[in-house]
Each structure stands twice: as C-alpha cells, then as structure tokens.
Amino acid sequence: MPQNATTDDPRRLAEFEARIARCKTIEPKDWMPERYRKQLIRMMSQHAHSEVVGMLPEGNWITRAPSLRRKMGLLAKVQDEAGHGLYIYCSTETLGVDRNDLIQQLLAGTAKYSSIFNYPTLTWADIGAIGWLVDGAAIVNQTMLAKASYGPYARAMVRICKEENFHKRQGFEIMTTLAGGTREQHAMAQDALDRWWWPSLMMFGPRDKDSPNSDDLLRWKVKQKTNDELRQRFVNITVAQAMAIDLTIPDPALKYNERTKDWEYGEIDWEEFWRVVRGNGPCNRERLAARRRAHDDGAWVRAAAEAYAAKHEPAASVA
C-alpha cells in the first residue's frame, strides 16, 4: 500500500480532511483516521519524553548556579519542563493510550526523545546556550504546533510557548552577561555556542527529503511548516542574536543571501544526528539511567497517591 494510503472509510476520510481544510480542530471524540491517531501518539509522546529528559542536563547545574537569582531562574525553568511533559502526556492520553505504557517505553529505551538532550552540560555557559538555542528552537517549532489540527496538542502548546519565552530570555541573558564579561567568560560563552549550535539545528529533524513522517503531518496540518523551513527560520533569528552579543556562529560556510534574506548554513553532520538518535550519543546511557533511577525513587509517591485515591475515590454508585 502506498505510504500515505489509509484503509479508512473514504467518505469519513473525506469529511475529516474537509474539516481540517476549514481549519477546524479535531477533538478526541471526533472520528479520525487510525494513521492520524498513530502519528499524533508517536509525535506527542516523544515530545513529552523530551521535556522530561530535558530536565536532566540543566538539573545538574541547579546546585552550582553562580547566584541565587540564577539558581531561582534555573529552578523555575526545570520545574516548567516537568509541567510541559505532564501537559503533553495528558494530551497524548486523549488519544486512548495510557501514559504508564508510554513511560515504560521511555524507560525501556524503545521510545525516542530529542537528541539534543544527549549532550553534556560542561560549564555554566551551557545553561545559557540551552535556554537561548534549545528553547529558542523549541519556540520556533512550538509556535507552529500551537496551530496544529489536533485540539488538545495545540492548546497545550499555547501555555508551553509562553513559558518557553521566559526560558529563552533567561538563557540569552546568561549568554549576554558572559559574552560581555571578562575574556575568560566570553571564551566560555563561545565554547558553549560552538558545542550546542549544530545539535540545536538537528532538533528540527532530518532534511525534508529524508523525513518519512512529514507528508502525513503536513497533509493533516499537524505540522504547518517543514523541518527545513523551521530550521531556516531558527537560523535567521539566531545568527542576528549571536552577532548582537559578539559571539561567532561556528559555521565557516554561513553566508547571507541578499535575495532570499536567509542565512545559508553549512552541511549538518547527519551521521552524528542518526548516531545520537539511535542511542550512541555522549550521554544517552547516562540520561536513561538517571530517568530509571528517578522513576524507581518515585515509586513510593505513586503508591501513596494510588492508595489515597482508592480510599477517597467516590464509592461507585450502586445501580
């Protein structure tokens, strides 16, 4: 069967696609092609996993933040990411899946999460680079997803994008402070940009021609833009910001195209991308081990919550 064919009832499929063409959102109770539901579960669960695993690289700098103000900002950001994961697990559950199953897939190492979180945070400047670049890339992507055809996902993005803006600002402020500080601080900021720039471009996924899921997602308006379009938008925004704080984008091929108004960038190392996606990045094993440990350590909390719910759940009404 051709990649995009579906075995669904043609009449219902036509009604579904007409609804999307009218920019109506699809809600959990609405009929939807099985392929649409499966694509959403795949994409949304990976997004939720990414938010939760994304807490780890930053979490290990909370105790080492250089000031109380920086510590409070980082604490608030990491806490936000946990909330983002919960919102998106909740919206994924509206598609008829159980979040415990999704979490078990993550813990078993069979679920994907964004490759960016498999890189180490070596200095305090990395916390600035993550806020500025990683959350900056997330904002470019998620402001698009706030218009996704699936209602619960789009609505989750609205609040998440507001919080991502705070994340990006606090990261860019850290980078601005360091870049404008001593020679050593400027060097620390430049080193972080050098290490986080290319993995941030990889957050938008493979090139359009190598993206097996984009056809479905664009057809059914989960994505409104392609991976490469979003990546280009991110590059155009971020190059100007780097120049504003006297940092250099680590790409000798970078050049401005007066006609398209785009910053053209060099070739991404797709071997590195797929190596990290397939579990062989610098921190993949460490991240999963930390996630498994946190899950085990939290078992008593889940047991207590379940016991409380069982005790206080309204008694089932007797027919």
Residues lying near ligand 3HC in the complex (CB under 6 A) are found at 42-43, 46-47, 50-51, 54, 81, 84, 112, 114-115, 134-135, 138, 141, 164, 202-206, 211-214, 217, 227, 277
Please say which residue, 106 or 138, places its beta carbon nearer to ligand 3HC.
Answer: 138
Which candidate, 197, 152, 204, 151, places its Cα nearest to that of 175?
Answer: 197
Q: Which pair of tokens denotes residue 12?
A: 């219902």
- Compute the least distance from the CB of residue 303 to ligand 3HC, in Å: 29
Please say which residue, 162 or 255, places its beta carbon nearer to ligand 3HC.
Answer: 162
- Compute the least distance from the CB of residue 237 to ligand 3HC, in Å: 15
Please say which residue, 179 or 203, places its beta carbon nearer to ligand 3HC.
Answer: 203
* Length of the chain measured in residues: 319
Contact 170, 103 (CB under 8 A): no
CA 52 to mean position of chain CA atoms: 10
Which candidate, 255, 225, 43, 61, places its Cα nearest to that of 144?
Answer: 225
Please say which residue, 146 or 245, places its beta carbon nearer to ligand 3HC.
Answer: 146
- Compute the least distance from the CB of residue 52 to ligand 3HC, in Å: 9
- Compute the least distance from the CB of residue 135 to ligand 3HC, in Å: 5
Coil, strand or helix: which one is 26? strand
- Compute the least distance from the CB of residue 67 to ligand 3HC, in Å: 23
Please say which residue, 86 or 185, places its beta carbon nearer to ligand 3HC.
Answer: 86
Which residues are within 8 A (CB) of 32 and not within 5 positions of it... i.e. 6 or more apart? 16, 26
Instruction: Output the 3-class SS for 85-110.
Output: HHHHHHHHHCCCCCHHHHHHHHHCCC
Please say which residue, 46 or 91, places its beta carbon nearer to ligand 3HC.
Answer: 46
- Compute the least distance from the CB of residue 173 to ligand 3HC, in Å: 17
- H runs (alpha helix) in 203-226: 214-219
Report the sign of the C-alpha dihedral through residues 273, 227, 137, 54, in that order: negative
